[in-house]
Amino acid sequence: MCPSKVADGETRGWIVPIGGAEDKELDMRVLRRFFELCGGKGANIAVIPTASKLNETGDRYEQLFLDMGADEVSVLDFDTRRDAHEPNRVRAIQDADGIFITGGNQLRLSTILGGTPIAQAIRARNARGVPVGGTSAGAGILCEHMIAGGESDSSTPRANSVRLAPGLGLTNRVVIDQHFRQRDRLGRLLAALAYNPFGIGLGVDEDTAALIGPDNVVEVEGSGAVTVVDADGLQFSSMAQVSGDAPVCMLGVQIHVLTAGASFNLETRKASAGSLSPVKA
């Protein structure tokens, strides 16, 4: 699934995957950065809490964005695929200055929203400049190939350590994993790239965002890090030769660890320390 085509004269909106457990009480750096990208004070934000089964999830983000100065926050929950065909909910997406997808179960998101008018509206709005962000499960579904599940707690890629499913397809350049350092998910992100090294892996820590700009440069915000796994130089993968819990041999993988101020260009595949670079005398 390719991203929606950006019309002549238009600029694609920011894509903002957040690793989960973002600060919601103190300085709220990550959420405030997303809100600023949506236009800041007076913005109209659509919140989709479908991944969560907790009734208060949508209400909490609604209050957070209202407290930041949003003019309107529409909480759009979807319990069935039929809900995702309702014209009034589609209009709410079309009128939004920013779209935010909460955490929970990413398969609940994909099975309810996948291929519906709501999913199409999210894709179209992002192609017309509207930022789309998501935290935890909401981050995972933003890309074309979504990590739907798999084994954590291992830095070693294994044949059965990851399950993939189609996501929203806002970008086909990356594969996103969340709660990255906290749940030791390097192994399953490597396994995802062992299947096909076309994409670039973004492992996003909690309270951290990988902000993908219209120019396909990834910026980092938050208290953690974004681990970039670049398999463009992959020389060998044994994924086709192993099965079950067997480890996967991968040669030629490059890894960068980015913190706030650093960046990575998805087109040139070059990392930069950015504002973290030492000042030359």
Give the three-class secondary structure for 250: strand
210-214 long-range CB contacts below 8 Å, 24 or more apart?
210/16, 210/17, 210/176, 211/14, 211/15, 211/16, 211/33, 211/37, 212/14, 212/15, 212/16, 212/17, 212/171, 212/174, 212/266, 213/14, 214/11, 214/12, 214/13, 214/14, 214/129
* Residue 70 contacts residue 62 (beta carbons within 8 Å): no
Q: Which residues are annotated as catalytic?
A: 136, 179, 206
75 pairs with which residues across the strands? 47
* Residue 264 contacts residue 270 (beta carbons within 8 Å): yes
* Residue 192 contacts residue 146 (beta carbons within 8 Å): no
Q: Which two tokens stand for residue 167?
A: 């996501």
Longest dimension (CA), the chain: 63
- Concatenated DSSP letters for 96-134? -SEEEE--S-HHHHHHHHTTSHHHHHHHHHHHTT--EEE
Pairing between β-strand 174-177 and β-strand 200-204 as defined by DSSP bridges: parallel
* Residue 151 contacts residue 119 (beta carbons within 8 Å): no
